[in-house]
Amino acid sequence: MATLLKEASTMQMMRASVLLAVSAVASAYITTPGFLGGRLAQSAAISRASDFNLRLRTTNGAARSARVQSIQMMAAATKKKSVSDLSRKDLEGKKVLIRCDLNVPLDGKKITDDTRIRASVPTIKYLLDNGARVAISSHLGRPKGGPEDKYSLAPCGARLAELLGKGCVVTKDCIGEETSKIVNNLKNGECCLLENVRFYPEEEKNDKAFSKKLAAPFDMYVNDAFGTAHRAHSSTAGVTEFLSPSVAGFLLQKELDYLEGAVSEPKRPFAAIVGGSKVSSKIGVIESLLGKCDKLVIGGGMVFTFLKARGLNVGSSLVEEDKLELAKSLEASAAKRGVKIILPTDVVLADKFAADANTKVASVNDIPAGWMGLDNGPESTKLIQKELSDCKTIIWNGPMGVFEFDKFAAGTNAVAQTLAECTAKGAITIIGGGDSVAAVEKAGLAEKMSHISTGGGASLELLEGQILPGVAALDNASSGAKTVAATGASAKDTNYYKNKNPWDV
């Protein structure tokens, strides 16, 4: 009894602490006089709430549930201002710092996929077309403590200039007098690209002095980098202490509208497809979605932890032995909530983990010793197709198998094709970042989905119900403003996005 009371007390303290953090963020502007004071109070509250995100990830299900509920309260309390709230009168002549995600793959100095650059263009063009003087900031790669030529943003600057149809000089630094001079000399409707912000270790530490230097030449801030919105870095959060307004760009707005809007107010039936190798990496997502979806499709390596928890032999397939009880509890939770869990009925087996492995298809009830499951079988694919056929909202995060090997890509490709067909019938289909995006692109079906998220970790954390520091740091929306993640409407519904796809630049 004493142990139970202690656990209950701990739970109450956790709930109270998170709620205090939520309250602090929501009321920062009200309780602290002055712009800078309000910013500092808000930043501190975001930091405390984010710390609790980290601590509560490893606690029991009830504590995580309390965290999710608290953060949902925060989302409702702190709807954010968007760039669509800013008119030409607000922007003309103003020096705007926009954080984009230009972290693109390179082969030497050649960009091999410019998707992220193209995705940033609509917001940049909106700012330029309304007479702003724009400086773009981003990171590229993981520099080790200082400048590295291979991580220079110069190739991104050249591609931006092509897409924008105007010059885009790349500064030698992201801070300092020379950089400020270039920014100050920009004419209305002109832009530049600041060199890689991660050339300074202070960026990832959200160092206050560095944040102040980065913000120094500017009048306002726009965050359009959803892919880094889950990081409390100087260029994603710290600069907002010194710049007002600080608002969301069209891409960030669109990501939140789709991911938060679809989950909070989905058209039903609502199905979630969660794949990947390990249950442990998707616990938060599964727990969060169990409270919202009607059907949950489990795929990838984590399938075999669930199957073994059901008492089946899984051969040499990947199993997290320490997560068997968790798998049982997740299935029990789904049953209690009336959520239908769909697991494979047959799988493609391999005699080794390799592209040239010998393969065969077997029922999940007859997996022999020495063989491992690396993809869904044809009957499983038919089952998934049937279960998804009537769904109006579908979110997919994680592949069904080892799709990098052609022999084990059929299950993932079939899900991608099914989602494309569902989209054509009017369903909202959202590809929630990471490997599932790569799978859809590899299948050549990206254009047939409602939304492809540009954020890997950010998508995952948002689906888990966590605070995104880069969003929490932005200005709260005034009553009647077009808000981020407020209505669940697509960002395409704003005037600038009407009939415009952010990939079609």
Per-residue H/E/C for 81-150: EEHHHCCHHHHCCCEEEEECCCCCCEECCEECCCHHHHHHHHHHHHHHHCCCEEEEECCCCCCCCCCCHH
- Point out the catalytic residue in the list 434, 455, 456, 470: 434
Instruction: Report, as an integer, the average pLDDT of 343-357.
Output: 98
pLDDT at 24: 39
Q: Are 396 and 259 in contact (CB under 8 A)?
A: no
pLDDT tens, position by position, 2-12: 333 333 334 33
In a domain, 259, yes or no: no
The residue that leads in pLDDT, 453 or 235, is: 235
Residue 313 has pLDDT above 50, yes or no: yes
Instruction: Extract the tokens encoding 441.
Output: 């692109």
Nearest to 138 by CA among 159, 107, 158, 117: 117
Domains held by the chain: number: 3
Task: Answer yes or no: are the C-beta atoms of 111 and 117 closer than 8 Å.
Answer: yes
**In this predicted structure, what is the pLDDT of residue 279?**
87
Confidence label for 464 from pLDDT (cuts 50, 70 and 90): confident
Q: Which residue has the higher pLDDT, 34 or 394?
A: 394
Q: Which of 67, 94, 116, 125 is catalytic?
A: 116
Residue 41 lies inside a defined structural domain of this protein: yes
Told to judge if 133 belongs to the known catalytic residues of this protein, a careful annotator would answer no
Percentage of the chain lying above the pLDDT 90 cut: 65
For residues 242 and 308, membership in a common domain is answered with: no
The C-alpha atoms of residue 368 and residue 362 are separated, in whole angstroms, by: 9
Rounded to 10 degrees, the C-alpha dihedral 271/274/280/286 comes to -10
Place of tokens 């710390």: 51
Task: Give the mean pLDDT of 305-325.
Answer: 97
In the block, which residue shows the tokens 């390596």? Answer: 301
38 is an active site residue: no
Cα(247)–Cα(405) distance, integer angstroms:
42
As a whole-number percent, the residues of the chain with pLDDT over 70 amount to: 79
249 is catalytic: no
Say yes or no to pLDDT of 485 above 70. Answer: no
Which residues form the domain of 305? 267-464
**Whether residue 355 is found in the same domain as residue 209:** no
Among 301, 289, 273, 300, residue whose Cα is nearest residue 330: 289
Q: Would 498 be classed as within a structural domain?
A: no
Distance separating alpha carbons of residues 65 and 63, to the nearest angstrom: 5
Q: Diameter of the chain by CA atoms? A: 71
For residue 505, being part of any structural domain is answered with no
| 9: exposed, middle or buried (Cβ count in 10 Å: 0-12, 13-18, 19+) | exposed
- 241 and 104 both lie in a single domain: yes
Domain boundary among 50, 78, 106: 78
493 or 100, greater pLDDT: 100
Q: Among residues 48, 95, 278, 500, which one is catalytic?
A: 278
**Residue 173 near residue 130, CB atoms below 8 Å:** no
> CB–CB of 104/113 below 8 Å?
yes
Closest CA to 110 of 165, 161, 150, 147: 150
Listed in sequence order, the residues at least 6 apart from 60 whose beta carbon sits closer than 8 Å to its beta carbon are: none
Q: Is the pLDDT of residue 69 over 80?
A: no
Residue 271, in any domain of the structure: yes
Which tokens in the block code for residue 194?
């600041």
For residues 352-372, average pLDDT: 98
Per-residue confidence (pLDDT) for residue 375, from 0 to 100: 98
| Span of 132-141, 213-222, 449-458 with lowest mean pLDDT | 449-458
- Whether residues 369 and 224 share a domain: the answer is no
Q: Are residues 150 and 242 in the same domain?
A: yes
**Residues 304 and 229 placed together within one structural domain of the fold:** no
Per the annotation, the verdict on 88 as an active-site residue is no
What CATH number is associated with residue 224? 3.40.50.1260
Same domain? 289 vs 220: no
Q: What is the mean pLDDT of residues 71-94?
A: 78
Active-site annotation holder among 37, 131, 291, 457: 457
Beta bridge pairs of residue 484: 80
* Least confident among 71-80, 216-225, 393-402: 71-80
Other CB atoms within 10 A of residue 355 CB: 12
Provide the pLDDT for residue 484: 53
Establish if 240 belongs to a structural domain: yes
How far, in Å, CA of 407 to CA of 376, rounded? 11
Distances (CA, A) of 443 to 363, 406, 413, 451, 504: 26, 11, 6, 16, 19
Q: Would you say residue 353 has pLDDT above 90?
A: yes
C-alpha dihedral sign at 254, 257, 260, 265 = negative
Same domain, 203 and 294: no
Q: Is the pLDDT of residue 340 over 90?
A: yes
pLDDT single digits (tens) 235-255: 999 999 999 999 999 999 998
Domain final residue, candidates 20, 50, 78:
78
Of residues 254 and 454, more confidence is placed in 254
One domain, residues 335 and 458 = yes
C-alpha–C-alpha distance, residues 362 and 287, integer Å = 30
Angstrom CA distances, 83 to 187, 239, 251, 254, 335, stand at 20, 17, 10, 12, 43
Does residue 147 fall inside a structural domain?
A: yes
Please give the Cα distance from 246 to 219 (Å, whole number). Answer: 10
Q: What is the mean pLDDT of the chain?
A: 83
- In angstroms, the CA 6 to CA 28 distance is 32
For residue 132, is it within any domain?
yes
Q: What is the pLDDT of residue 199?
A: 98
Question: Distance (Å, rounded) from C-alpha 251 to C-alpha 223?
Answer: 9
Q: Is residue 450 domain-shared with residue 488, that is, in the same domain? A: no
Dist CA 74 CA 53 (whole Å): 13
Query: For residue range 262-308, what is the model confidence (pLDDT) as tens digits?
Result: 778 889 999 999 998 888 888 888 988 898 999 999 999 999 999 99
Q: How confident is the model at residue 19 (pLDDT cuts 50, 70, 90)?
A: very low
Q: Answer yes or no: are the C-beta atoms of 459 and 434 closer than 8 Å.
A: yes
Indicate whether 183 and 107 sit together in one domain.
yes
Whether pTM > 0.75 for this model: the answer is no
Instruction: Please check whether residues 289 and 422 belong to one and the same domain.
Output: yes
pLDDT at residue 25, as a whole number: 38
Quote the DSSP letter at residue 339.
P
pLDDT (0 to 100) of residue 49? 43
pLDDT of the residue at 433:
66
